[in-house]
């Protein structure tokens, strides 16, 4: 006889549930055939939601839970209410915890109530328990039927009681738990009680990189079935060798709850996307004796000639309707599902959908909302999918667990390929001997999770790959998982990055572009390859995305990748203070902001979009790189045709470009000169055609730049976007011979006067004055007319940017080099009168870091009679220097110069390795609006390839800064230091002045927050450099800024 203490259910890795129903596809009985074709589960008379307010109690330790709360006579009148679905931490119960891979509970599987480090949140909240109660009346019409309850998602384990009787137990938070309630319910009011545990043994397999939240976070519903029911079914399409004709094969499992053997007939019908029956698409099978308590399998195969095929580009959906009839044809039950005819296969190291090679242009997506946590709404799902489609994303990996069932319905509808991932991650155990993938006692828990995923989601056309989990190490248990999936489904390939040898697709995370190119060239690999995670989007990120996709498109065995990740996991947290407009102040909270321990800080704010789904510069870059059409310049058409030829390549796998209108715009220095469109471009998938754009003859203006922008726009509304939505574009630089730049007029403006008094060197003219400080080695004040432009903030060498999350690979080396702040030692100041209309001031400054290395900066200021100041900067490095964040100048201009206009890349920020999505043009906005929101403040607002930028006041007067020929530029209300020192943007208050950076260059962004540093061509080496720019007055009385910037100033 054993004296061992019985293990708690929720600390038993082999106890997967008590009285749980076997997994099945997600469907419910419907009223009749018409309702089945419509396919709206919420309208079924046999479904009742249990969403809504429940009575709720929370305790931090299981020993303190109300143990008898499930009893009918237990008084809960003093309990508060909590909405279902929800996460209880976001309603004031317990602590949200963000950790990447470190377990927030003990690391002693399968135990939860074990010792943890003293700083852990689990010390005061060892294993919180939430107790839920609700009463509900069973509809009278359900009498004689079987009644079930379905929980779509509960974190992490729970017990269920009905009317005081214990029904069962479940763990595995991301797939459905169903229980048969028929013997527990009674007519009229019924009491439901649910006891939820924050952690359980299964939590060791749910160690994903996300906020650790708890509760009943997905839908809960009751449904009833006929005594003889369709328990489950699987609809598959089997195509012929040419992928032309198909067979619809439906396998159904029928269950008899009666006390007698029954005879039943199963009928299957197919309806098209408009709800019309497909001709001759009907089948039936008779079952002569289904014994009491027995489950039998029935199969119907229906040949379908040339069905419309489902793909992400053309997501055509039929409806499969199943009817179960009694011996005399009486109706027992009707169920249905949307269905896409689709074939997935791997051939010649390529991934084929319907016989055609496809590329997966993907993102990883956690289920998250900033005020609801895991409890995502249908509206949020639709918003995500509309953004996916509008920004050319065709694939989602459900990182790292099966998503809400409604997500798959929407992916079927909108057309998104899904890599469906099992709820298996034990990252905190590592990948060695301790890995749970090696442990026999954990095999059933692994296999159960992949099987439940496959069974639930098998009928979805969108699911093209099964993924067995993420970062859970290798091991025997994944061999078992792969075997289980293949025994069930041979129509989809398997993915698992930690053990490629058992998968059908090889994968990796965060490779360099060079590694990917080598993998593409390697013929020793027999499988296609995907980057299941790449392009880590944390903070200011998504560097060199174009180079990744150049490699993917160069090598057929590379089938794409999924960017990490879709959305920032910032929880909306209020500070209790008020904004200047009286609204409540809040910020995006990340790890540690709730006192949670352990935590991984802002590593959860790594999304392509912000927590509230705002479009970012990162997303625009993705749209550009992921677009399905390439447009190349060919050249001018010979006379008499005129116009300009471009080559258009259709990179879609299935659709013709005839659904798009081709629009073109000719710009002169960023201003529209001509525009037109071609009503239709007939171009089948995969083909290229040369198109003539009817540009009219024009007279080039002196020194002007000409760009041709060609785009494709939707000709009609779609489910995801309206008519006119731009799907692809390219901006081409037109080869135009232009006259030389006009010279600025200096004669008749009066003399330039040079004056030197002690520390000051002043150069003045009829309508301006610039004062230099010998001690500061730069401009101290600049005045145009009555307008003071610069005061005590002239341009100085600057090497520093507020480090991005990706900069961690070199930020410490830069700090260790002592290059910020710099000490400015003025070595020499020279001033000379060049002529009556020009004077020159040269300032040489040794810009020294704390360790003695730095730059020798010589600036030559040539001041002209019209107030222009030509500046040539010589940067000469000295000492042992690391890579540089940037090399340029920073100055401070008056705060009322609040309007920024520039000719360069825009409208959003851009960087050397992330600027494909930003066209060259003229853009305008407030300085305040140039800030790009990041949960942790960092480098932002830079504009690449800027020809000129103007900062003006309300009258339009101010300062024009002209590159020679271009510069990187930013104008913000804060310094890099202020961003770098802050953890949250609400702590950064706008300055009274405008901080202007004029840079020779910035380093690229790369992806080193979790991946490679910038490519070598985007690194900024400390080399001798020359950087020219010009400061000029601007305003309504001086003409357009663009015309002023185009003027040539005399070489003196």
Q: Which residues are identified as catalytic?
A: 471, 533
From the number of C-beta atoms within 10 Å of its C-beta (0-12, 13-18, 19+), residue 458 rates as buried
Letter string b/e over residues 78-101, b meaning 16 or more CB atoms within 10 A of that residue's CB: ebeebebbbbbbbbebbbbbbbbb
CA distance 295 to 229: 10
Tell me the sheet residues that pair with 248: 237, 302
Angle at alpha carbon of residue 803, lines to 801 and 808, rounded to 5°: 140
Token pair for residue 84?
């279902």
**C-alpha dihedral over 545, 549, 552, 553, to 10 degrees?**
-170
Specify which residues 83 forms β-bridges with.
53
* φ and ψ of 943, to 5 deg: -120, 125
**CB within 8 A of 424, min separation 6: which ones?**
205, 400, 446, 449, 450, 468, 469, 470, 472, 481
- DSSP assigned state of 152: S
Distance CA 426, CA 868 (A): 64
- If one counts every other C-beta atom within 10 angstroms of the C-beta of residue 964, the result is 15
Cα–Cα dist 216/206, whole Å:
16
Q: What φ, ψ does residue 192 adopt, rounded to 5°?
A: -110, 130
Q: Residues with Cβ < 8 Å from 308, sequence gap 6 or more?
A: 272, 273, 314, 316, 318, 341
User: Do 752 and 869 touch, CB atoms closer than 8 A?
Assistant: no
| SS3 of residue 977 by DSSP | helix
Q: What are phi and psi of 209, to 5 degrees?
A: -80, 85
CA-only gyration radius of the chain, Å: 33
Helix (H) or strand (E) holding 706: strand 706-714
Mapping DSSP onto H, E and C, the string for 595-661 reads CCCCCCHHHHCCCCECCCCCCCHHHHHHHHHHCCEEEEEEEECCCCCCCEEEEEEECCCCCCHHHEE
8 A C-beta contact, residue 381 and residue 387:
no
Contact 595, 552 (CB under 8 A): no
Find, among 795, 655, 642, 650, the residue nearest to 718 by Cα: 655
Place of tokens 């995969």: 686
Q: Which helix (H) or strand (E) holds 451?
A: helix 443-457
User: What does the block give as tokens for 899?
Assistant: 């309007």
Residues in a beta bridge with 351: 346
Whether residue 598 is preceded by a cis peptide bond, meaning omega within 30 degrees of 0, is yes
Nearest to 243 by CA among 158, 342, 173, 380: 342
**Residue 85 preceded by cis peptide, ω within 30:** yes
Both tokens of 777, joined, read 């080695």
Report d(CA 759, CA 20) in Å as an integer.
86
Which residues have CB under 8 Å from 959's CB, separation 6+? 782, 784, 789, 790, 893, 897, 950, 951, 952, 1031, 1032, 1033, 1034
């Amino acid at each position: 006889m054993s004296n061992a203490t019985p293990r708690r259910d929720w600390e038993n890795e082999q106890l997967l549930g008590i009285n749980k129903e076997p997994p099945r596809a997600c469907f419910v009985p419907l009223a009749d055939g018409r309702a089945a074709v419509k396919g709206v589960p919420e309208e079924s008379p046999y479904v009742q939601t249990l969403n809504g307010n429940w009575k709720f109690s929370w305790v931090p330790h299981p020993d303190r839970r109300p143990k008898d709360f499930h009893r009918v006579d237990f008084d809960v009148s003093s309990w508060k209410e909590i909405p279902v679905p929800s996460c209880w931490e976001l309603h004031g119960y317990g602590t949200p915890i963000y950790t990447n891979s470190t377990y927030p509970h003990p690391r002693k599987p399968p135990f939860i109530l074990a010792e943890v480090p003293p700083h852990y949140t689990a010390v005061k909240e060892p294993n919180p328990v939430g107790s839920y109660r609700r009463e509900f009346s069973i509809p009278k019409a359900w009498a004689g039927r079987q009644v079930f309850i379905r929980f779509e998602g509960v974190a992490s384990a729970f017990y269920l009681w009905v009317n005081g009787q214990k029904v069962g137990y479940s763990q595995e938070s991301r797939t459905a738990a169903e229980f048969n309630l028929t013997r527990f319910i009674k007519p009229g009011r019924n009491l439901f009680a649910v006891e939820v545990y924050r952690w359980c043994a299964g939590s060791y397999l749910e160690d994903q990189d996300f906020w650790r939240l708890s509760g009943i976070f997905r839908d809960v519903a009751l449904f009833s079935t006929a005594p003889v029911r369709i328990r489950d079914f699987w609809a598959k399409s089997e195509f012929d060798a040419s992928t032309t004709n198909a067979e619809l094969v439906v396998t159904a499992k029928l269950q008899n709850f009666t006390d007698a053997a029954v005879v039943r007939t199963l009928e299957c019908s197919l309806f098209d996307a408009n709800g019309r029956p497909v001709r001759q698409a009907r089948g039936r099978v008779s079952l002569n004796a289904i014994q009491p308590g027995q489950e039998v399998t029935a199969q119907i195969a229906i040949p379908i000639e040339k069905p419309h095929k489902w793909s992400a580009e053309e997501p055509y959906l039929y409806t499969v309707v199943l009817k179960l009839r009694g011996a005399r044809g009486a109706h027992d039950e009707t169920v249905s599902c949307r269905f896409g005819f689709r074939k997935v296969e791997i051939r010649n190291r390529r991934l084929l959908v319907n016989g055609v090679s496809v590329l997966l242009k993907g993102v990883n997506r956690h289920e998250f909302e900033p005020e609801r946590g895991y409890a995502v709404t249908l509206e949020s799902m639709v918003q995500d999918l509309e953004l996916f489609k509008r920004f050319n994303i065709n694939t989602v990996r459900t990182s790292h667990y099966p998503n809400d069932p409604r997500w798959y319905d929407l992916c079927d509808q909108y057309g998104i390929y899904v890599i469906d991932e099992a709820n298996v991650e034990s990252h905190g155990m590592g990948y060695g001997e301790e890995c749970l993938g090696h442990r026999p006692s954990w095999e059933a828990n692994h296999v159960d999770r992949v099987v439940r995923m496959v069974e639930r989601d098998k009928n979805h056309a969108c699911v093209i790959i099964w993924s067995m989990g993420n970062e859970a190490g290798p091991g025997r248990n994944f061999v078992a998982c792969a075997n289980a999936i293949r025994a069930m489904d041979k129509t989809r390939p398997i993915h698992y990055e930690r053990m490629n040898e058992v998968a059908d697709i090889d994968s990796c995370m965060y490779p360099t572009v060079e590694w990917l190119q080598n993998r593409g060239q390697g013929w020793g690999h027999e499988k296609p390859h995907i980057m299941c995670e790449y392009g880590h989007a944390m903070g200011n990120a998504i560097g060199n995305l174009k180079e990744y996709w150049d490699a993917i498109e160069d090598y057929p065995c590379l089938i794409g990748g999924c960017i990490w990740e879709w959305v920032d996991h910032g929880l909306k947290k209020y500070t209790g203070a008020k904004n200047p407009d009286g609204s409540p102040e809040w910020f995006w909270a990340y790890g540690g902001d709730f006192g949670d321990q352990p935590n991984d800080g802002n590593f959860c704010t790594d999304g392509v979009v912000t927590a509230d789904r705002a479009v970012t510069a990162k997303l625009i870059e993705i749209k550009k790189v992921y677009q399905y059409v390439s447009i190349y310049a060919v050249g001018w058409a010979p006379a008499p045709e005129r116009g300009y030829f471009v080559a258009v390549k259709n990179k879609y796998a299935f659709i013709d470009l005839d659904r798009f209108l081709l629009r073109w715009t000719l710009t002169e220095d960023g201003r529209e000169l001509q525009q037109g469109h071609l009503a239709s471009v007939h171009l089948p998938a995969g083909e290229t055609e040369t198109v003539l754009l009817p540009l009219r003859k024009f007279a080039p203006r002196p020194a002007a730049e000409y760009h041709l922008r060609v785009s494709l726009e939707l000709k009609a509304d779609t489910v995801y976007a309206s008519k006119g939505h731009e799907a692809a574009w390219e901006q081409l630089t037109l080869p135009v011979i232009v006259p030389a730049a006009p010279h600025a007029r200096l004669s008749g403006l009066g003399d330039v006067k040079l004056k030197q008094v002690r520390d000051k060197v002043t150069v003045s003219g009829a309508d301006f004055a610039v004062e230099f400080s010998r001690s500061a080695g730069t401009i101290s004040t600049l005045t145009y007319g009555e307008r003071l432009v610069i005061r005590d903030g002239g341009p100085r060498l600057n090497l520093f940017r507020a480090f991005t999350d990706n900069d961690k690979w070199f930020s410490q080396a830069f700090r260790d080099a002592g290059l910020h702040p710099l000490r400015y030692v003025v070595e020499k100041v020279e001033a000379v009168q060049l002529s009556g209309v020009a004077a020159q001031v040269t300032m040489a400054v040794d810009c020294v870091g704390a360790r003695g290395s730095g730059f020798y900066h010589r600036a030559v200021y040539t001041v002209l009679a019209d107030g222009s100041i030509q500046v040539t900067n010589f940067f000469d490095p000295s000492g042992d220097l690391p890579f540089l964040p940037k090399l340029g100048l920073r100055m401070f201009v008056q705060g009322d110069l609040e309007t920024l206009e520039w000719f360069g890349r825009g409208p959003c920020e851009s960087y050397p390795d992330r600027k494909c999505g930003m066209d060259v043009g003229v853009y305008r906005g407030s300085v305040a609006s140039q800030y790009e929101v990041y949960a942790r403040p960092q480098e932002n607002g830079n504009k690449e390839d800027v020809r000129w930028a103007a900062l003006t006041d309300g009258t339009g007067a101010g300062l024009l800064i002209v590159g020679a020929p271009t510069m990187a530029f930013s104008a913000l209300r804060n310094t890099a230091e202020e961003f770098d020192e802050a953890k949250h943007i609400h702590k950064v208050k706008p300055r009274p002045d405008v901080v202007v950076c004029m840079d020779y260059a910035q380093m690229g962004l790369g992806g080193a927050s979790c991946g490679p540093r910038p490519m070598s061509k985007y690194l900024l080496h400390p080399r001798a450099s020359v950087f020219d720019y010009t400061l000029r007055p601007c305003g309504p009385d001086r003409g357009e800024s663009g015309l002023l910037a185009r003027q040539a100033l005399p070489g003196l």
